[in-house]
Structure 1
Amino acid sequence: MTVLTRARRLALVAGGLGLVVALSSCASAEEAGVGEGTGGGTDVTGSEIDCSQFEQFGEDLDGTEVEVYTSIVTPEDQPFLDTFQPFTECTGITVNYNGSRQFEAQLPVRVQSGNAPDIAFLPQPGLLAQMVGTGQVVEPPQAVSDNVDELWSEAWREYGSVDGTFYAAPLGANTKSFVWYSPSAFEEAGYEIPETWDDLIALTDQMVADNPDVKPWCAGIGSGDATGWPATDWLEDVVLHELGPDVYDQWIAHEIPFNDPQIVAALDRVGSILRNPDYVNGGFGDVASIATTTFQDAGVPITQGNCWLHRQASFYQANWPDGTEVAEDGDVFAFPFPEINSEVGQAVVGGGEFVAAFADRPEVQALQYYLSTAEWANLKAQASGPGWLTANTGLDVENLVSPIDQLAAEQLQDESVAFRFDASDLMPAAVGSAAEWRELTAWIANGQDTQTTLDNIEAAWPN
């Protein structure tokens, strides 16, 4: 798994801990076709870094070892391994990288059995909160906290905190608030990038008028057992862009119900595109075909001239056919999800990883610190291929290989852009995956009405 978190949000009950580990609702690296740093990166193993920065952790680090436990496995682990080599050269600390496809299931078991790793890369704040609840996660050193204050937005610090206590620095990130299109097709047709929702609808209507045989939008929410998750991203984008971060946070915390009238209106706004037979589903069929079209295939008709627009995350760059150039003047590119409410302005829904420690030995703290620096972020960017970015504002976006990653990083670094974590990843699994995926699929496939759809999701909220 890369900075993308997993498509299947399963309930994994960890023995006596009784922990329910909620896996994220966006695509796994394997399913999305994304390799974190698999190709396109440069060799950073011989890079020189400032060794003096580690003196604060003591002089007797040589020969010590730190285990890093993560779900990021071969070959996506190589950029991490490469960036650890300058750290080891400086400190003498050996980093034992342990990537496991069973990470989400095994981490609670290891913690319960007294065999917790030194450091774990956690794919979402919900899992961090669950691990903190075991009493085994230790607070990072002040130097890490200072780096996060300097290099990340307040929202990212809050996502690395539990009950007001800071525990975990952010690591990688991903963004979802994009609409993909063909720059050459737009130029030929004389279309301009829409900046507001009204502009987007006006453009869509113009496409309908200009191209009676081609539907403007193509979409797909199919994802095996996780079918429905792309629809949750649509809803989250509209809630955040229309209602703002405060209401979005209240919705996640169930301070307003899932079927609140504001959320009903937001889903109806999504339906004004996804359930409009004049707008969808270019290259595939009618509205119902969205439910049976896989998210991997959903945008491909843009390259075939069979649709114009496709809303999907930055990681979708890996799903275009071989030879497709992803660039502002290439075959495909993306623009930010348009502004809906001028008082909210630009906003981004996304996700990321967090570095949690289960030990406070000096060598562990030294590695935590290194991973929180701009120096590491830039080395990681250079070592990685398309599909990796970070919200660390010390990142030079020119070190990112992909222009989409560069655009996403610029959004994450822009203080005027409100960032919020994927809502379904933070809600209880019974809601954010099981009920929401199922009901939004019925809303698309069967024409289930909006109020019933949201009433059914609200009814799934645990007491």
Structure 2
Amino acid sequence: MAFARSRQALAIAGVLGLALGATACGTGNDKKSGKASSPECAAYEKYQGHDGKKVSIYASIRDAEADLLERSWKQFEDCTGIKIDYEGSGEFEAQLGVRVDGGNAPDIAFVPQPGLVKRFADAGKLKALGADTKALAEQNMPADWLKYGTVNGTLYGVPLGANVKSFVWYSPKMFKDKGWTVPTTWDELIALSDKIAASGTKPWCVGVESGDATGWPATDWIEDLMLRTQTPDVYDQWTTHGIPFNDPKVAQAVDKAGTILKNEKYVNGGFGGVKSITTTSFQEAGVPITTGKCAMHRQASFYANQFPQGTKVAEDGDAFAFYFPAVDPAKGKPVLGGGEVVVGFADRPEVQAVQTYLASGEYVNSRAKLGNWVTANNKLDIANVASPIDKLSVQILQDKNSVFRFDGSDLMPAAVGAGTFWKGMVDWLNGKDTATVLNGIESSWPK
């Protein structure tokens, strides 16, 4: 799954680069006060003419991150008079379809699954991007990223945020105190896990509970291992059903993940045994690395938001992350990632204005200054990326040795990627064998 589902509420410290609320710009058409032409509002002049209009946005981003989202476009609202009505939901994937099919679609949705974008586009529910948004998207976004919002040659959406999923979180302080070294290969990772387990500490903590989306964190493990045990071409074949879901290559990746996830000696630090993984929320799963109850937690860059208030996330802090090692480093540096695609179910002028703004350099830098966020948008100024983990994410994404692939489950048809794959991983963690689970997922692939 590309981005966080539900979030615990916490303060994000020390990263307020823009005082968004400090200088109110007034509404875009407030001609009497002259605020529309004030210096703070100069960047928003192109979006004028929609004073008093409302635009609804629906997404899976909640709690602390949702607060940052709403702050990131506050100045846009003040300067244009457009009111953005944002709603985040932990049941986004299931409820978006219900709303769309019921004639109650949001104006805009942030969809973290390209497969879901395709489903709505094929059903004629999405509006193609307006000319201004399309032009800006093609100017600011890498072509590889634009394909995630393109269906049958038509551009329906622009990627917004990005994340790196190939991370293992750990406590630098704990590693230093114990004399443990950050592993750089898969063999070193397993050797370290064995060493930690022998010391009496569970090396791994894992949680895949996420409401209606329970199971998605386990699919990320399989995707990362597919990229590490197979070639990128085979990964692409898998996500498009060029090879069946129960192909031996997929089984190899699942079993490789199982050497950690289904190993009672390795998991589940702070929570119980293997079966506790399916009842442990993904938000809480990595917290035990800060209390010494486990040593490592594989999760995306956005997990930085889940640590308790006051946690120092840095190379010399309470928590940080290292690159999830490749099985064969000579074959390159596989990187799993994701992001949201901004799509429209309406094309009113004010909706198009919001879509265009979200694709702009003004927006991405406004959001980046608030912290805990990166994007593939080339207008992002790296100087506005303050968080050490975000800087590391950008470095990995820009590394010429990196072989990037989008989250596989998000590329698959929603019935599989956000359905049977999620559920199948829960069944697998609860004891079902690999062959049975993969056969079940394969039989669910739309004909």
Interval of TM-score (by shorter of Structure 1 and Structure 2): 0.7 to 0.9
Between stretches 268-277 and 319-328, larger displacement belongs to 319-328
User: Aligned residue for 1:356?
Assistant: 343
Distance 1:357 1:121, change over 3 A: same
- Tell me the distance in 2 between the aligned counterparts of 1:367 and 1:289: 43
Q: Does 1:28 align with 2:5?
A: yes
- Where does structure 2 lack aligned partners over 5 or more consecutive residues? 26-38
| Counterpart for residue 130 of structure 1 | 119
The code of the aligned residue for 1:121 comes to F
Query: How far 1:162 sits from its partner (Å)?
Result: 0.6
Matched, 1:154 2:143: yes
User: One-letter code of the match for 1:272?
Assistant: T
- Alignment-derived partner of residue 20 in structure 1: none
> Does residue 1:260 correspond to 2:247, yes or no?
yes
Q: Residue 128 and residue 438 in structure 1: after superposition, are their counterparts in 2 closer, same or farther (change >3 A)?
A: closer
Q: 2:51 and 2:306 mapped to 1: Cα distance?
A: 43
Distance 1:85 1:168, change over 3 A: same
Equivalent position SS for 2:442: helix
| 8 Å CA contact 2:58, 2:106 repeated in 1 | no
Q: 1:115 to 1:444 in 2, by over 3 A?
A: closer
Shift of 1:289: 3.5
SS at match of 1:70: strand
Alpha-carbon separation, structure 2, partners of 1:459 and 1:76: 37
- Structure 1: tracts of 5 or more residues without a match: 1-23
Q: Is the 8 A contact 2:5 2:62 kept in 1?
A: no
Residue identity in the other structure for 1:95: I
Normalising by structure 1, we get a TM-score of 0.79
Pick closer, same or farther for the CA change 1:430–1:241 going to 2, 3 Å: same
> 1:285 & 1:197 partners in 2: Cα distance?
25
CA distance in 1, matches of 2:396, 2:53: 37
1:100 match:
87
Looking at structure 2, the residues matched to 270 and 123 of structure 1 have their Cα atoms a distance apart, in angstroms, of: 24
Per-residue Cα deviation, 1:3-46 (whole angstroms, up to 9, x for no partner): xxxxxxxxxxxxxxxxxxxxx586423xx316797985341354
Q: Select 2:410's aligned residue among 409, 425, 434.
A: 425
C-alpha change, 1:410 and 1:145, in structure 2 (3 Å) is farther
Match of 2:301? 314
**Displacement of 1:51 after TM fit?**
4.4
1:377-431, Cα deviation, whole Å (9 max, x unpaired): 111222x354x33222322344245322332243344454333332223333443
Q: CA deviation at 1:341?
A: 3.7
Is 1:186 paired with 2:175?
A: yes
- Given that 1:424 and 1:432 are in contact with CA atoms closer than 8 Å, whether structure 2 keeps it comes out as yes
Cα distance per residue 1:50-94 (max 9 Å; x no partner): 947966x8xx8364846242235787555455544554676xx43
Q: Structure 1 residues 141 and 237, CA, compared in 2 at 3 Å: closer, same or farther? A: same
Identity level (%):
48
Cα distance, 1:98–1:134 mapped onto 2, change above 3 Å? farther
Q: 1:49 to 1:201 in 2, by over 3 A?
A: farther
Q: Distance in 2 between matches of 1:308 and 1:435?
A: 31
Q: What is the aligned-residue RMSD (CA, Å)?
A: 3.5
- Scaled by the length of structure 2, the TM-score of the pair is 0.81
The reply on whether 1:406 has 2:391 as its aligned counterpart is yes
- The worse-fitting range, judged by mean Cα deviation, of 136-145 and 240-249 is 136-145
- 2:292 corresponds to 1:305: yes
Q: Which residue of 2 aligns with 1:201?
A: 190
Deviations 1:296-340 (A, max 9, x none): 333233223232111122232233344332211111111121123
Deviates more, 1:276-285 or 1:173-182: 276-285
Where 1:296 maps in the other structure, the secondary structure is: helix
Offset at residue 243 of structure 1 (A): 1.9
Deviations 1:121-140 (CA, angstroms, capped at 9, x unpaired): 33432332233234353433
Q: CA 1:74–1:260 in 2, change beyond 3 Å: closer, same or farther?
A: closer
Deviation, 1:454, is 1.5
Question: Structure 1 369/410 Cα, relative in aligned 2: closer, same or farther at 3 Å?
Answer: farther
